[in-house]
Structure 1
Amino acid sequence: MANSPLAPLADRLRAVSGDLTRTVEKRLSDITERSASTHGFVSVDPELALRRARFLDSVPTDQRGRLHGLVLPIKDLMTVAGFPCSYGSVTRTEMPPETDLWAAQLLKAGIIIPGKTQTSEMGMTAYCEPVGMPAVANPLWPGRTPGGSSGGAAAAVALGLADVAHASDGGGSIRVPAAATGTVGVKPPHDSSGGSPTAQGFITRSVADAAFVFGVSPVRRSLRIGVLVEPLHGDGAVSPVMVSTVCTVADRLSDLGHRVHEVSRPYGERPFAAFADVLASRSIHIPGPASDIIEWLRERGSALSESRRAEAVADFDAVLQTILSAWDIDVLLSPTLAHDPPEIGHFSRLEPPENFAEQTRWTPWATLFNMTGGAAVNVPVAVAGRPPVGVQLGSVRASFGELLGVASQVHP
């Protein structure tokens, strides 16, 4: 599974660079021998993948990209020419003529796309039950959700079907499924100004792999680390195992020379109310028939006045300065999830307002870094007698390299 020791990704790529076709054939076989609900993919195209592998095998060594030969699936919210894009709903499936610029840059670096990984409808929920398609299974917790919206990416990496999978994060959608499946999920720093919560990132099997694919060198130095186990958003409770695991990690980091202390909630209910209204406002632009939760968000967004929308964006944008004023720290350490993953269907069976509130109770820390734009990473921590527990490290003042450096001290 995801926590087994691995050679550095750069070394693994060099080892297979001479025969990518065979490598891709093995990956495709591993994927297709599993059911659609298990492997995490919504579409796989062996012909495209093998054609790409043969092309890359022909590229002269001195002209190869940095990620030459990396088999890397793309989340099914991002368009890739030649692959259908379903946006988490069978009713939305289309064949896009062009490749998104972000995916195109990865292709330029030398990746091979075997297929698209499953997501929740329009990436709008913290679970992964796409409309009209099988719910994605959690390989770590049978019968339970793998989280979302990048649930397919997390499942694929947890199963070893990919070393790295593209994911996106507008409210925890990388870190939540990583925590639910025992993988590493990194939301990089992004410009969140103007109420922009979403960043593109990756789910991997190690922090070292994440650093490599981002092209960032981890920096290890003594940092000021704040510890918060109280829910930041919502009105839920936190499982004792989540609290104890964070405390164990805090002690380990203190022993390594970091200055660790507890911090308190820096604000009240207003910032998350702003996040919710920004999300609802953005949902207005989702076209066509939709599931109950999407329709509820659209209706909620449409009911907001222009003045409230502007106020929500201003409150959203003010969160960074609020936490900089409240916390004299470089990194925040918290649980990623308030409790273990619930069963598939737990959230979707609820009426939309309670569904949204329950998702918030499960993921009460994630959206902070979508509002501040700070980088944040989930790392799995081994706990005796049970699957690993995900802890979140988020940048308040630390650079991206410094954040990955401290994360690598928790999980290689």
Structure 2
Amino acid sequence: MTEIHDLPAHRLAAMVRSRELSPREITEHVLSRTERHGPALGAYITVIAEKALEQARYAEKRAMADTPETLPPLLGIPVPVKDLEPLAGVRATYGSRVMADNVASFDSDTVARLRAAGAVFTGKTNTPEFGSGCYTENEVAPPARNPWNPELSPGGSSGGAAVAVAAGLAPVAHASDGGGSIRIPASVCGLFGLKPTRGRVSGAPAKPDLVGLSTSGPLTRHVADAALLLDVMSGNRPGDYHTAPPLPPGETFADHAGREPGRLRIGHYAHTGSAGIPVHPEVLAAHEATLRLLADLGHEVEEIPEPGDAHFGGTFSDDFALVWAAMASATPVPAGREHELGELNRWLRERARALPVPDYIAACARLQRGIRSWLAATGEHDAVVTPALASPPVPVGYFTGDGPGEEFRRMTAFTPFTSVFNVTGQPSMSVPLHHAADGSPLGSMVTGRMGGEPLLLSLAAQLERARPWADRVPPVWNA
């Protein structure tokens, strides 16, 4: 028998509009699964069951009173929000014990758009402190655990969001990505995750990211669901530092998820250049399998140099680390409580305070020159394919315990492919095409041109049809 959590979000939304299924039934189902599995998997920092049921009752009344064509696109669909994003009237801990009692007084622009689209908010998903890590462990909630194997990490910083979707606790989830934080958990949890183009989704009103590394985006099981969420999340506000090219009038991302991409010219690489970071044999095998699939689908596939020394002058890792430290320092901390932060964030913020402003500006300028060089070198390619990560999933606790410098080194070695596309601002997705020998998922990363989400979604949908993945689910799915 098909369970509610087996159905994609776009199908649930259609069933709400046709009155085949009520928002209350959907919400009660996912809340029941959240109560049963959420605590052991560390999916949420805060569950707001009563608020969710109230929203679902309102959505149900609206579904019965209005005509289907006037209903908003996500009416009655549960969408948890990552706990780096303010949701009015709900705790916003940012994964930090110093913010454990903080309650948001406003919706972020992204949350406001989801609310206007009819989403039901079931809670705030787990994230590392200030989103600074590529894992999801903190001092305000149990560690997030991978539904495929609870001994393994689900990645981060959108680890709780990935757990919720992969375990069937939500049909889709809001996530965000500043250095790989959508694509990392998508890869290790067997999901589709899309980091949009810089400026596609507004950071209003208060996201402190002048460089534009971070953006909200969708984590889903189905490509069509990601397109649906991106249509809702997209938009800009006055004062945004960055804006993305709009779609032509009348077009939606959902439209493109249903189109064929045509024959594409695709570049690829799977090495880390002068960084010298080893890539696991199973990751390399999965990468080669992705290239064969793309060739079989009729695309032109050719190897290209990685965005290394030739583009970024051999300083990318150091420059990105400086900007990352500056971002970590931007979150306000209550006076006198800095010492209560986790070890990694204390270390990052100390580095940021010791950083002269001219050095920061120089690092940003070098990164900008690298962006121009890389985009010029790959301008003839419709997309670039790489592994999402350098290794299969790692155990919970793998990154911590040996000091913040070693922790940062391990994070860099695990995620050498993702952060460059936060710097360039290109749209980038992790596609769940493969599994390691132990059954854990391995994602392939595909990056498009600036503003190229339509083509990425078309290509992702083609891959989804060729190698369907939604029926491959972790053991907890049927529990």
**TM-score bin, normalised by smaller chain:** over 0.9
- CA deviations over 1:282-331 (Å, ceiling 9, x no partner): 22233233111101111111111111110111122233211123334221
Cα distance change on mapping 1:46 and 1:194 into 2, 3 Å = closer
- CA deviations over 1:232-274 (Å, ceiling 9, x no partner): 6843210111111111111111121211001112322312322
Map 1:209-288; keep pairs closer than 5 Å: 209-215=225-231, 216=253, 217-218=256-257, 219=259, 220-231=261-272, 234-268=275-309, 269-286=314-331, 287=333, 288=338
Contact 2:8 2:222 in 1 (8 A): no
Structure 1's unaligned 5+ residue stretches are none
Aligned length: 408
SS at structure 2 position matched to 1:333: strand
Residue 356 of structure 1 corresponds to 408
Please state how far the C-alpha of 1:214 moved relative to its aligned partner: 1.6
Contact 2:130 2:328 in 1 (8 A): no
Paired letter, 2:343: D
Paired letter, 2:318: A
Paired letter, 1:88: G
Moved more, 70-79 or 38-47: 38-47
Structure 2's unaligned 5+ residue stretches are 201-208, 232-252, 466-479
- Match for 2:98 among 91, 94, 104? 91
Mapped partners of 1:398, 1:244: distance in 2: 30
Paired letter, 2:49: P
Matching of residue 396 in structure 1 with residue 449 in structure 2: yes
Paired letter, 1:76: D
Matching of residue 179 in structure 1 with residue 183 in structure 2: no
Contact 1:233 1:364 in 2 (8 A): no
Paired letter, 2:190: G
Residue 470 of structure 2 corresponds to none
SS at structure 2 position matched to 1:33: helix
Contact 1:233 1:360 in 2 (8 A): no
Percent of residue pairs bearing the same amino acid type: 33
Please state how far the C-alpha of 1:39 moved relative to its aligned partner: 5.1
Map 1:6-405; keep pairs closer than 5 Å: 9-17=9-17, 18=19, 19-38=22-41, 40-59=43-62, 60-61=66-67, 62-93=69-100, 94-191=102-199, 195-215=211-231, 216=253, 217-218=256-257, 219=259, 220-231=261-272, 234-268=275-309, 269-286=314-331, 287=333, 288=338, 289-327=340-378, 328-383=380-435, 385=437, 386-396=439-449, 399-405=452-458
Paired letter, 2:78: V
Please state how far the C-alpha of 1:28 moved relative to its aligned partner: 0.7
Please state how far the C-alpha of 1:136 moved relative to its aligned partner: 0.7
Mapped partners of 1:143, 1:207: distance in 2: 28
Paired letter, 1:224: R
What root-mean-square deviation, in Å, do the aligned CA atoms of Structure 1 and Structure 2 show?
A: 2.0
SS at structure 2 position matched to 1:411: helix
Mapped partners of 2:185, 2:51: distance in 1: 28
Contact 1:197 1:371 in 2 (8 A): yes
In the superposition, the TM-score normalised over structure 1's length comes to 0.94
Contact 1:141 1:181 in 2 (8 A): no
